[in-house]
Amino acid sequence: MRKILLYPHGGSGNHGCEAIVRSTMLLLRPEKGSLVSSACGQDVRCGLDRLVRVLPERRPIRRLSPAWAAAWMRLHVLGVKDAFDRIAFGGIVKEAGDADLALCGGGDNYCYGEPVHIYLQNELLRKAGVPVVLWGCSLEREDMKGRMLEDLGAFDLIVARESLTYDALRECGLSRVVLYPDPAFALPANEVEVPEGWKEGNMAGINVSPMVIGHEARPGAVMENYSRLVEWLLENTEMNVALIPHVVWAGNDDRRPLAELHGRFRHTGRVIMIEDASCGDLKGYISRCRFLVAARTHASIAAYSTGVPALVAGYSVKARGIARDLFGTEEGHVVPVQSLDGPDELRNAFVRMMEREKEIKKTYGKVLPAYLERLRGCRKELESLVKRS
């Protein structure tokens, strides 16, 4: 494969997005890659520009230029509502000119209402004649209707990252659908220098996010449950606690709720805060934990793929589907945030996971080798799509 185009990308402040780009390039091994990003500065800070060509998602339109005037006429005379967007996204089409494949980063981009700007980018790329693939996606069954279903049906291939999404897509009559693990399962864990207070082999990693807090059924339930869990760990185990952020976007920054936990338990000397780092470094920290409790999907994937027993505070199909594919069930592996009502539900689920530590690690030993081997086979699937186009 000579060149792939990856889009849309919200920026590497979400280290799950960064992990998808890095692992995709590792798995597909194209000669060149271009990343269309809405936050290029974040990607450069994480060093993605050394791996792919990083390009802005939108190009500026100079006011009163011929392009601006044409868009103004299309909008105000012909009623084309996205006239300016079509010009702003024109750079994507230009970049796709010599691409073998365009990978629309799925993740959960289709889970938060109508992604109209993604629809437009998809349309422009399809008209440009490049094969377009929805890559590593999770979707809610109830959202697959209307314009979204039309857009899904127009992909040359959809790669679902868990079976709940795969089954739902097939139920909707979509046939060009395959099932492969999230590419970030293949991301290497970097060797990292652990901070003072790290207890090798006996750390409990904790990740919490504003996203899960936003889905709680009762105000304060998530942080109450996390606080009671940390309290229990300190009082009843010899483990120290590592607070690990995985998304540091403004307005959606894991460090804010984690800082709240750190402030409450700092005096114990057993709770440490991990600073923002690349996805490979964060996976390095997670891989050296004994357990992980995670809100972010790619934090949990970092644990799963390195054999660390993980409990997910989840709110959507992605958490349930990934756990079910690995373990045969989400029971005991995912705690739905919407069901957190009492203060000790997360703690109780963690205790049950601790009791099954050996069993979970045994499952990893059986499942992960074949899981990762299957992921590596995805390259042939996409190469055959390029050859057919």
Residue 294 host element (H or E): strand 291-294
Instruction: State whether 28 and 79 are in the same domain.
Output: yes
Q: Does position 18 have pLDDT exceeding 70, yes or no? A: yes
Report the pLDDT value the prediction gives residue 388, as an integer from 0 to 100: 63
Instruction: State whether 39 and 143 are in the same domain.
Output: yes
Longest CA–CA separation in the chain, Å: 70
Instruction: State whether 150 and 243 are in the same domain.
Output: no
For the stretch 90-149, pLDDT in tens is 889 999 999 999 999 988 899 888 999 999 999 999 999 999 999 999 999 999 999 999
For the stretch 363-374, pLDDT in tens is 999 999 999 999
Q: Does position 78 have pLDDT exceeding 80, yes or no? A: no
The tally of domains found in the chain comes to 2
Report the pLDDT value the prediction gives residue 90, as an integer from 0 to 100: 86
Q: 253 — alpha (psi -120 to 50), left (phi > 0) or beta?
A: beta
Domain that holds residue 31: 3-185+375-388
Which pLDDT band, with edges at 50, 70 and 90, does 389 fall under? Answer: low
Are 24 and 135 within 8 A, CB to CB?
Answer: yes
Instruction: State whether 8 and 115 are in the same domain.
Output: yes
How confident is the model over 9-19, as a mean pLDDT? 97
Distance CA 280, CA 353 (A): 26
Instruction: State whether 164 and 240 are in the same domain.
Output: no
- Secondary structure class of 274 (helix, strand, coil): coil
Which pLDDT band, with edges at 50, 70 and 90, does 29 fall under? Answer: very high
Q: Does position 332 have pLDDT exceeding 80, yes or no? A: yes
Judged by average pLDDT, the poorest of 24-38, 81-95, 337-351 is 81-95
Distance CA 122, CA 116 (A): 10
Which pLDDT band, with edges at 50, 70 and 90, does 79 fall under? Answer: confident
Neighbours of 41 (CB within 10 A): 12
Are 350 and 312 within 8 A, CB to CB?
Answer: no
For the stretch 224-262, pLDDT in tens is 999 999 999 999 999 999 999 999 999 999 999 999 999
Q: What is the mean pLDDT of the chain?
A: 94
Instruction: State whether 254 and 331 are in the same domain.
Output: yes
Identify the CATH number of the domain in which residue 125 sits. Answer: 3.40.50.2000
Q: Which of 7, 2, 16, 10 is nearest to 299 (CA)?
A: 16
User: Which of 142-165 are b and which e, b meaning 16 or more Cβ less than 10 Å from the residue's Cβ?
Assistant: ebbeeebeebbeebbbbbbbbebb
Which pLDDT band, with edges at 50, 70 and 90, does 194 fall under? Answer: very high
